[in-house]
Amino acid sequence: MIQSFADYVVYNLFGLDESSRFGVALNFFLYDSIKIILLLFFISLVMGIINAYFPIEKLRNYLSSHKLYGLDYFLAALFGGITPFCSCSSVPLFIGFVRGGIPLGVTLTFLIASPLVSEIAVAMFLGTFGLKVTLIYIISGTLLSMIGGFILGKMRLEKYLSNWVKEAQIQSNLQSEEWKAEKTPFLKRLPTIARESWGIVKGVLIYIVIGIGIGATMHGYVPENFFERFLSAENWWGVPLAVLLAVPMYANAAGIVPIVEVFVAKGIPLGTAIAFMMSIIGLSIPEATMLKKVMTWRLIGIFFGVVSLLIILSGYLFNFFFTS
């Protein structure tokens, strides 16, 4: 349906030739943009509905009042993915968890998963790479957050939190406020949720369009197997190099995925590409500066180091499974 719409607009409305390079590129661009925007809206809507019924306060109260023997890591990763992420929310969330008496490891799991598995990342992956790669990304992102949080939790890093956070930790449990369920019926809440989903789409629209635009252009002009020479699966340093390049980069997930898709089409191994995207999406300098308010540099360094190492490991793992 979207395809026929794109065909109609490009070939009939604009009157471009179906065999012209520009026509094909424009068609691809239009088709991909519409598909991804619809996907993003729909996924945000689903996540918004889940969020309306299980807000983050509820999860916090649940985690702090139950002993879960490891399941808490899973829940933290899961909810990290569902909760809409904004890097400026990470600090209040962090403090909220710490105050609730939730272990540091579980809190960090949430902090890793939140940007890594987001509605934007899922929609972009689904739209550009298809279902299989998306599932691999979601599952490995969730596992990585759980393992990362678990390892960091075992390292006894509480002493590297900022002083005022330590104080907050001591006062924990004192103010476990009661969570009030909203009584508004579902149908009345739906318009608000839909409006917020549209807000998410609107916020990243420009990045989606630019990313797909660059991707569509590159497809036509970068020679086949162009990147293979530099970053093939046989080069052991391919994955760490990709991660090293990506951590300081701060690109919107929306913009980077369509571009990386071209890299994969032109010969970069999928594992290297996934590792690259995970580091871009999951770790960034702006996030580090936000975290500085609650952590010492040392803890931020350990946090980024452990997560980077895990991303490198999963990159190798994917390359191993997808090339053999």
Partner 1 sequence: MEIKVLGPGCTKCKTTFKAIEKVIKKNNLDVKLTKVEDIMEIMKYNIMATPAVVVDEEIKIKGKVPNENEIKNLLGL
List interacting residues with partner 1 (CB under 8 A): 55-57, 60, 86-89, 91-93, 95-97, 99, 164, 168, 175, 177, 192, 195-196, 199, 203, 290, 293
Nearer to partner 1, 29 or 110 (CB): 110
* Residue 85 CB neighbours (<10 A): 23
How far apart are the C-alpha atoms of 316 and 312, rounded to whole Å? 6
Decide: 275 and 312 in contact? Cβ < 8 Å. Answer: yes
Least spacing, CB of residue 95 vs partner 1, in Å: 5
Least spacing, CB of residue 122 vs partner 1, in Å: 20
Residue type, 124: M
Nearer to partner 1, 167 or 234 (CB): 167
Nearer to partner 1, 98 or 121 (CB): 98
Nearer to partner 1, 176 or 232 (CB): 176
Question: Within its chain, how far is the Cα of 273 from the centroid?
Answer: 14
Least spacing, CB of residue 205 vs partner 1, in Å: 14
Least spacing, CB of residue 91 vs partner 1, in Å: 6
Sign of CA dihedral 103, 104, 107, 109: negative
Residue type, 94: F
Q: Which tokens sit at 218?
A: 């590159």
Least spacing, CB of residue 225 vs partner 1, in Å: 41
Q: Which tokens sit at 314?
A: 């999963």
Q: What are the start-end ranges of the H helices in the chain?
A: 2-7, 21-53, 56-65, 71-82, 90-99, 104-116, 119-129, 131-154, 163-170, 186-221, 228-231, 238-246, 253-265, 270-282, 285-291, 297-323
Least spacing, CB of residue 88 vs partner 1, in Å: 4
Question: Who contacts 156 (Cβ-Cβ below 8 Å, separation ≥6)?
Answer: none
Nearer to partner 1, 92 or 305 (CB): 92
Closest CA relative to residue 314, chosen from 289, 281, 282, 278: 278
Residue type, 28: F
Question: Within its chain, how far is the Cα of 267 from the centroid?
Answer: 24
Nearer to partner 1, 23 or 96 (CB): 96
Least spacing, CB of residue 293 vs partner 1, in Å: 5
Decide: 117 and 21 in contact? Cβ < 8 Å. Answer: no
Nearer to partner 1, 35 or 99 (CB): 99
- Let me know how long the chain is: 324
